[in-house]
Amino acid sequence: MGKMLKLADIQGNIVQAYRFPLARYIMFQVTEEGKAREFIKKIIPHITTGEMWEKGGKPEVTTNIAFSYQGLKAIGLNESSLRQFPLAFAEGMKARAHLLGDEGESGPHQWDECWQEHVDILLTINARTVNDLSSLTEITESEKAHLNDFHEALKSLCDSTGGIKVLGQQDANVLFYNGKPCAKEHFGFDDGIGNPSFSGTDLATMKIPGKGKQLADGSWVPLAAGEFILGHADESQAIPEAPRPRLLTDNGTYMVYRKLHQNVASFRKYLVDTGKEYAKTLDMSKYRHADGTAAKGWEILAAKMAGRWLDGTPVELSPYGQDPSIRADSARNNDFNYTGDKDAATCPFGAHVRRTNPRGSLGFDGKLTSRRRILRRGLPYGTPTPFDKLGRDPR
What's the CA angle centered on 68, arms 65 and 73, to 5 degrees? Answer: 115
Q: 31 CB contacts (<8 Å, ≥6 apart)?
A: 162, 163, 164, 165
Tell how strand 22-30 and strand 176-177 pair up.
Answer: unpaired
**Phi, psi (deg, nearest 5) at residue 323:** -135, 95
| Spatial contact of 221 and 213, defined as CB atoms under 8 Å apart | yes
Exposure of 315 by Cβ count < 10 A (0-12 exposed, 13-18 middle, 19+ buried)? Answer: buried
> In one letter, which amino acid is 95?
A
54 has a pLDDT exceeding 70: no
| CA 390 distance to own-chain centroid | 26
> Looking at beta carbons, which pairs linking 270-274 to residues 24 or more positions away fall under 8 Å?
271/298, 271/301, 271/302, 272/298, 274/298, 274/301
| Spatial contact of 143 and 129, defined as CB atoms under 8 Å apart | yes
**110-120, pLDDT tens digit by residue?**
999 999 999 99
pLDDT at 395: 64
pLDDT: which is higher, 173 or 386: 173
Exposure of 338 by Cβ count < 10 A (0-12 exposed, 13-18 middle, 19+ buried)? Answer: buried
pLDDT: which is higher, 285 or 393: 285
- The total of other beta-carbon atoms located within 10 Å of residue 76's CB is 11
The percentage of the chain sitting over the pLDDT mark of 90, rounded to a whole number, equals 87
The percentage of the chain sitting over the pLDDT mark of 70, rounded to a whole number, equals 98
Q: Is the peptide bond before 245 cis (omega within 30 degrees of 0)?
A: yes
- The pLDDT of 321-348, averaged and rounded, is 95
Mean pLDDT estimate for the chain: 94
**3-19, pLDDT tens digit by residue?**
899 999 999 999 989 99
**Phi, psi (deg, nearest 5) at residue 353:** -70, -30
What's the CA angle centered on 390, arms 389 and 393, to 5 degrees? Answer: 130
pLDDT at 207: 86
Whole-number Å distance between alpha carbons of 130 and 61: 11
181 has a pLDDT exceeding 80: yes
**92-114, pLDDT tens digit by residue?**
999 999 999 999 999 999 999 99
52 has a pLDDT exceeding 90: no
169: helix, strand or coil: strand
Whole-number Å distance between alpha carbons of 354 and 347: 7
Whole-number Å distance between alpha carbons of 347 and 3: 36
| Spatial contact of 338 and 316, defined as CB atoms under 8 Å apart | yes
**110-149, pLDDT tens digit by residue?**
999 999 999 999 999 999 999 999 999 999 999 999 999 9
What single string gives the DSSP state of each residue in 113-154? Answer: GGGGS---EEEEEEE--SS-GGG-SS--GGGGHHHHHHHHHH
**187-204, pLDDT tens digit by residue?**
999 999 999 999 998 888
